[in-house]
Amino acid sequence: MNSTKKLQKSWFEPLAPSEKNSEVLAPQTGYWKDAWRRFKANKGALIGLVLIILLLLIAFIGPLLNGFDYSTQNLSISNQEHLSGHFLGTDSLGRDLWQRVWYGAKVSLLIAFIAAFLDVVIGVTFGGISGYFGGRVDSVMQRILEIMYSIPNIVVIILLMMYLEPGILPIAVALAFTGWVPMARVVRAQILKLKTQEYVLAARTMGASHFRILFKHLIPNVVGPIIIAVTFSIPSAIFFEAFLSFIGLGLRSPAASLGILVNDGYRTLQLFPYQLFWPALVLCIIMLSFNLIGDGLRDALDPKMKK
Amino acid sequence: MKPILEVSDLHVTFRSEHHEVKAIRGVDFTIHEGEVVAFVGESGSGKSVTFQSIMRLLPQPPANIDKGTILYNGRDITKISETEMQKIRGKEIAMIFQDPMTSLNPTIRVGKQIAESLMKHQKVTYQEAKDRAVELLKMVGIPSPSERVNQYPHQFSGGMRQRAMIAMALACSPKLLIADEPTTALDVTIQAQIIDLLKDLQTDTGSSIVFITHDLGVVAEIADRVAVMYAGKIVETGTLDEIFYNPRHPYTWGLLASMPRLDQTRDQDLASIPGSPPSLVNPPVGCPFTARCPYAMKICQEQMPETTKASDSHQVACWLQHPDSPKVENPIVSRR
Amino acid sequence: MVKYTLKRFGLMLLTLFIITTVTFFLVRMLPGTPLANEEKLPAEIREQILQQYGLKDPLYIQYFKFMGHLVQGDLGMSLSQNGRSVNELLSDRIGPSAIIGFQGILIGIVIGLLLGIAAALKRGTWVDSLASATAVFGVSIPNFVLAGLLSYWIGVKFGWLPPALWGGYEYTILPSLSLSVYVIAQVSRYIRTEMVEVLDQDYIRTAKAKGLAWRKIITGHALRNAMIPAVTVLGPLTVNILTGSLVVENIFGVPGIGNLFVESIMVNDYTTVLGTTIFYSILFLGVTFIVDVLYGVIDPRIRISGAKE
């Protein structure tokens, strides 16, 4: 074969190493930066994030927009769907639904956040100790986890609620009573995997205490999976809170939570469906947003799990 | 010798939303009846991709054959339908893979996995196919084959599984067997057994074998001809002797130098080729080996070298073959 | 395998024992008495009733008596429904619950499977998007909201199906649908993930290299292996159906066990609450146990070597 181009002699001079085109490597990115980039690329997760931010803003600013409050009854204006000033109408006791929905949303979210916080504290401690110490400690703690896991959580929550006075903290405690179990399983599995790694050995040879190794070296590396688990435990807590109110074991009127509002809405469903519709919509949006964010975080923080 | 597989100007690209990887960039070669051809190169050089795209095993998208012809017995198989292709796969061209642990379905009995191929291509009943599977297992040297045929892959050792894979591939007496790193995942002693088995079977059946590997030691054992691949191109091809005793491409020199030898003393360092292959997202315009080549010239970076003939069977794509280039000798003279 | 099964069975019994014991004491230590609603009762009749139900004995004696009866399958007498045993109540109520539960799970599994498989095979197409949307909506819309919407729109507004109560077959449809949505979501998501993973495996490539047709590879190799791990969702699904039945039965007025449970909570009928809890626990533990054993049976790696990886 003959080249069509005329080749010049000088082209056959050796190429100095400095003249060689070296490979341009993509800039190294950190774990979190990378995760954020993947999260942003996930449309569903972004929608979820925007929805939840909007919802929180409205939940705090919205109630300032009309002059009512969530608990004042006025029977002369009960069950009015369209009434000036009452954006979402009034309920059967003439209370402003707009106020009640946002108040209820805040209460539900508060319960969910407290429950999620307790899940993290208990789950991380339990899972961390179980995974880190291994051996006998682990096998006993594993049995406990297995038993906890095989009890239908709804039964436990109901029994606890029969025992506890309904209130924000008792409900959160009851939810956390079973809610920490998935968290503990996740953390234990991660710690088991991490504890054999070099940097743990290094820390140990340098005389770090178990407590220090566990909480300063290992747990920070499990933050990703913990955040994912929390994101999913929030909608689950919101669901159970509403569920409890619905079967009459949760908060009770005149207090408001999304569960109570949905329950109240059911009483008048045939005549005034809007009283069920609005709280149910807010409830669904909250659950949807957290589930979307959770899915996005799982894909972003744990690329291996994404397939 | 009659050619059975002729590939010319094959281009394969993997496209995703964000970028494309030009994995195969113009590959030509011919496999003749009854010969064993080894394809060697580092991982990512395109040797597996070449044959998986010939077999149409790569999911499309992302993979796509952009250009080129693949003649099997004179027929261009890039043009035939998927159903036609299914009649070639397993019957005419069979393939065995690197990892026998993952390449067998863990939930299906070994015998049934062998029988599947027979039932598809030879239209025999399950019972007949299973009897044949016992014979095949015996042929590849698996003891008590009539019991083994009813077992699951996890009950087989690694070497046994690879034997079962070979039995499965040979079930329909294919004319061409593509062995994609069949020994890489195995222990050294088992490796030798598998190579011997393949050699014996090749002698008995006379089928052609393509042997994909990065292990030159294995190549010396089995191959008639060798093709050296680098960054999606064949850089040198020749008979076994030509490649081992008269290599022309600096990359081949590097590969040979990095092969451990028995006559090497312990304080001699094992040579290695510094650097790593170029990214195929934006492949270099010139010779892809330039960045790692100790003899690189200005031209190498600018223009891809032509393929030149060192003999009828020996071809090299390197600017050092050009009359204007300085004379460079292979730094390690083969001492075999 | 036998050893593994026995071990799981032992653990199941232990768990059941713990649940029963804890539930017993929790329920007995509840504030208020079962007869609190009937304060006008003369003291001697009150005493007599408490005597009759064995509620005057010390707690530990009550516990041993209860456990003794439980071993024989006797859950005791209901406190709210005169003269009826908890066993009777449960067997009266199990029919409707079983019908809507089974239908819900069946609809859910069939649709979920189809959707999940289609999504995995047509990755990145509209089918896949539909499946992921269904999955996320399905887990985000609480069943009590969904039940209400179905009852109101299909039952009241359009009048296609009875919005509530219990009668012929048509009364089972809306409750079953309400229960099935979560199942569809879970099953489709799970099957999709498993299927995508399986399709990536080397042995699928081997099957293709043998010349098998794509359809045959899907049915003969991929589906089978994707379904094995999917069996494990049956446990969580049972819990969900159970939870769902509590509200769904309530909303649609289905005379099932879920309804019985909620009613018993309202009227402090401790023995029925206790009995229903035990019933639910047995149900759930039983399903978990069966799933565990089934998993071993259908996966030859476990069936033959006898251990999970």
pLDDT per position as a tens digit, A213-237: 888 878 888 888 888 889 888 998 9
| Rg of chain A in Å (alpha carbons) | 28
For the stretch A43-79, pLDDT in tens is 888 999 999 999 999 988 888 888 777 777 777 777 7
Of B301, B308, B325, the CB nearest to A12: B325
**Closest residue in chain B to residue C225, using alpha carbons only:** B107
Q: Count how many residues are written for chain B.
A: 336
In the numeric block, which tokens belong to residue B296? 């690189």
What is the per-residue pLDDT for A21?
64
Rounded-to-integer distance, Cα B166 and Cα B95, Å: 8
User: How close, in Å, is residue A13 to chain C by CA atoms?
Assistant: 48
Residue C247 backbone zone (phi > 0: left; psi -120 to 50: alpha; other: beta): alpha
Cβ-in-10-Å burial (0-12, 13-18, 19+) of B272 comes to exposed
> Other CB atoms closer than 10 Å to residue A6's CB: what's the count?
5
- Given an 8 Å threshold on Cβ–Cβ distance, is C23 in contact with A280? no
Three-state secondary structure of B199-224: HHHHHHHCCEEEEEECCHHHHHHHCC
Calculate what percentage of chain B has a pLDDT beyond 90: 3
Determine the 3-state secondary structure of A204 from DSSP: helix
Rounded-to-integer distance, Cα C276 and Cα C284, Å: 12
Mean pLDDT of B171-176: 86
| Sequence-separated (6 or more) residues with CB below 8 Å from residue A274 | A81, A88, A89, A97
User: How close, in Å, is residue C142 to chain B by CA atoms?
Assistant: 36
Write the DSSP symbol of residue B132.
Answer: H
Specify if A65 maps to a domain: no
What is the per-residue pLDDT for A23?
53
Element (H, E) at B94: strand B93-96
| Rg of chain C in Å (alpha carbons) | 24
Rounded-to-integer distance, Cα C298 and Cα C204, Å: 19
Residue type at position A104: G
For the stretch B20-70, pLDDT in tens is 888 888 888 889 888 999 999 888 788 888 898 888 888 877 888 888 888
Of C202, C212, C300, the CB nearest to B116: C212
Cα C169 from chain centroid (whole Å): 21
Which chain B residues touch C201 with a CB distance below 8 Å? 102
Strands B93-96 and B176-180: parallel
Which residue in C123, C199, C200, C210 has the most chain B C-beta atoms within 10 A of its own C-beta, making it the best mutation to test that interface?
C210
Torsion angle, alpha carbons of C138, C140, C141, C144, to 10 = 110
- Hunting for tokens 């045993």 — which residue is that? C85
- Given an 8 Å threshold on Cβ–Cβ distance, is C152 in contact with A150? no
Of A3, A13, A22, the CB nearest to B297: A13
> Other CB atoms closer than 10 Å to residue B322's CB: what's the count?
16
Which chain C residues touch B121 with a CB distance below 8 Å? 211
Residue type at position A26: A
- Hunting for tokens 């292959």 — which residue is that? B277
- Given an 8 Å threshold on Cβ–Cβ distance, is B90 in contact with C305? no
Of A146, A243, A288, the CB nearest to C140: A288
Which chain C residues touch B97 with a CB distance below 8 Å? 202, 205-206, 209
Does residue B244 or residue C40 have the better pLDDT? B244
Evaluate whether the domain defined by C95-194+224-308 bears CATH number 3.40.50.300.
no
For the stretch B115-165, pLDDT in tens is 888 888 888 888 888 888 898 888 888 888 888 888 888 888 888 888 888
Determine the 3-state secondary structure of B24 from DSSP: strand
Q: Is the minimum CB–CB distance between A22 and chain B shorter than 8 Å?
A: yes
Rounded-to-integer distance, Cα A274 and Cα C97, Å: 30
What is the per-residue pLDDT for C12?
85
By C-alpha distance, which of C243, C162, C164 is closest to A266? C164
What is the per-residue pLDDT for A27?
56
Specify if A210 maps to a domain: yes
CA contacts within 13 A on the Cβ side of A65: 15
Per residue of chain C (309 residues), what is the pLDDT tens digit? 778 788 888 888 888 888 888 888 877 776 655 555 555 566 777 677 667 666 677 788 888 888 888 888 888 888 777 778 888 889 888 888 999 999 999 999 999 999 999 999 888 888 888 998 888 898 888 888 888 888 888 877 777 777 777 777 778 888 999 999 999 998 998 899 889 889 888 899 999 888 888 888 998 889 888 888 888 888 888 888 888 888 888 888 889 898 898 888 888 788 888 888 888 888 888 888 888 888 877 877 777 655 443
Rounded-to-integer distance, Cα C108 and Cα C184, Å: 4
- Are residues A251 and A260 in contact, defined by beta-carbon separation less than 8 angstroms? yes
Inform me whether the pLDDT recorded for B201 exceeds 90.
no
Chains sharing 3 or more CB pairs under 8 A with chain B: A, C
Specify if A103 maps to a domain: yes
Rounded-to-integer distance, Cα B269 and Cα A11, Å: 34
DSSP B160-185: HHHHHHHHHHHTT--SEEEEESTTTT
User: How close, in Å, is residue C192 to chain B by CA atoms?
Assistant: 18
Cα–Cα–Cα angle for B270, B274, B276, nearest 5°? Answer: 125
By C-alpha distance, which of A270, A158, A232, A159 is closest to C247? A158
What is the per-residue pLDDT for A4?
44
- Given an 8 Å threshold on Cβ–Cβ distance, is C305 in contact with B87? no
| Rg of chain B in Å (alpha carbons) | 21
**Closest residue in chain B to residue C200, using alpha carbons only:** B59
Which chain B residues touch A23 with a CB distance below 8 Å? 276, 278-279, 291
Domain count, chain A: 1
Which chain A residues touch B291 with a CB distance below 8 Å? 20-23
Which chain C residues touch A152 with a CB distance below 8 Å? 239, 242-243, 280-281, 284
From residue C63, alpha-carbon distances to B40, B94, C50 in Å are 76, 70, 15
Strand partners, B309: B315
**Closest residue in chain B to residue A2, using alpha carbons only:** B306
DSSP A162-193: HHSPPSHHHHHHHHHHHHHHHHHHHHHHHHHH
What is the per-residue pLDDT for C39?
54
Does residue B13 or residue B267 have the better pLDDT? B13
Specify if A73 maps to a domain: no
- Given an 8 Å threshold on Cβ–Cβ distance, is B97 in contact with C205? yes
- Given an 8 Å threshold on Cβ–Cβ distance, is B107 in contact with C300? yes
Strand partners, C77: C85
Rounded-to-integer distance, Cα C258 and Cα C192, Å: 32
What is the per-residue pLDDT for A47?
92
Lay out the sheet containing B225-230: strands in order across: B93-96, B176-180, B208-213, B36-40, B225-230, B233-239, B315-317, B307-309
- Given an 8 Å threshold on Cβ–Cβ distance, is A22 in contact with B300? no
Using an 8 Å CB-CB cutoff, list residues of chain B that contact chain C: 52, 55, 57, 82-83, 86-91, 94-95, 97, 99, 102-108, 116-117, 120-121, 152, 154-155, 165, 168-169
Rounded-to-integer distance, Cα C283 and Cα C277, Å: 10
Supply φ then ψ for residue A149, to 5 degrees.
-70, -25
Rounded-to-integer distance, Cα C26 and Cα C270, Å: 10
Using an 8 Å CB-CB cutoff, list residues of chain C that contact chain B: 201-203, 205-214, 216, 220-221, 224-225, 228, 299-301, 304-305
CATH number at residue A205: 1.10.3720.10
| Sequence-separated (6 or more) residues with CB below 8 Å from residue A67 | A85
Residues of chain A with pLDDT under 70: 1-7, 17-29, 302-307
- Are residues C291 and C231 in contact, defined by beta-carbon separation less than 8 angstroms? yes
Rounded-to-integer distance, Cα B287 and Cα C177, Å: 65
Which chain A residues touch C34 with a CB distance below 8 Å? none
**Closest residue in chain B to residue A21, using alpha carbons only:** B291
Supply φ then ψ for residue B27, to 5 degrees.
-115, 130
Which chain B residues touch A15 with a CB distance below 8 Å? 290, 296-298, 300-301
Range of the domain at A231: 42-58+94-305
Specify if A176 maps to a domain: yes
What is the per-residue pLDDT for C113?
92
Helix then strand then coil, in percent of chain C rounded to 5, is 75, 0, 20
Q: Is the minimum CB–CB distance between B309 and chain A shorter than 8 Å?
A: no
Which residue in B15, B99, B105 has the most chain C C-beta atoms within 10 A of its own C-beta, making it the best mutation to test that interface?
B105
- Are residues B146 and B158 in contact, defined by beta-carbon separation less than 8 angstroms? no
CA contacts within 13 A on the Cβ side of B318: 29
* Burial state string for A59-96 with b = 16 or more CB within 10 A and e = fewer than 16: beebbeeeebebeeeeeeebbbeeeeebbbbbbbbbbb
Which chain A residues touch C280 with a CB distance below 8 Å? 152, 155
Specify if A247 maps to a domain: yes
Cβ-in-10-Å burial (0-12, 13-18, 19+) of A34 comes to middle
In the numeric block, which tokens belong to residue C210? 């043998």
Calculate what percentage of chain B has a pLDDT beyond 70: 95
> Other CB atoms closer than 10 Å to residue B69's CB: what's the count?
15
State yes or no: cis peptide before B62, omega within 30 of 0: yes
From residue C196, alpha-carbon distances to A303, A306, B277, C201, C288 in Å are 15, 10, 31, 9, 26
Which chain A residues touch C152 with a CB distance below 8 Å? 269-270, 273, 276
Specify if A76 maps to a domain: no
What is the per-residue pLDDT for C308?
43
pLDDT-based confidence at residue B335 (cuts at 50, 70, 90): very low
